[in-house]
Amino acid sequence: MPDSESRIRPDVSPARLAPSAKRVFVEILGQRNVSDDPAIIAGYSWATGVPSLQQLNAIRPVAVVLASST
């Protein structure tokens, strides 16, 4: 059984939100409730026990979307 490090490609880079998907989120939620800024994403990302940047990038969200109302 391969260990978790060998299952993750070493060249994994952060995924990007498709522009068309971002437009849909913005239409529904408004511009201030949608972000694909890496600094904002980092603030909403949380993983415990992640030993490498490659593994963190493999599980990092591509965007942060917040409810426009509750």
**How many domains are there within the chain?**
1
Quick check: is 70 in a domain? no
The residue ranges of DSSP E strands in the chain, in sequence order, are: 34-35, 64-65
C-alpha–C-alpha distance, residues 15 and 30, integer Å: 22
Quick check: is 53 in a domain? yes
C-alpha–C-alpha distance, residues 7 and 63, integer Å: 24
Place of tokens 């913005």: 26
C-alpha–C-alpha distance, residues 55 and 60, integer Å: 9
| Residue ranges, the chain, pLDDT below 50 | 1, 5-6, 8-10, 12
Range of the domain at 25: 4-65
Residue 27: alpha-carbon gap to chain centroid: 20
Quick check: is 34 in a domain? yes
DSSP 8-state code for residue 22: H
Quick check: is 44 in a domain? yes
Instruction: Judge if pTM exceeds 0.85.
Output: no
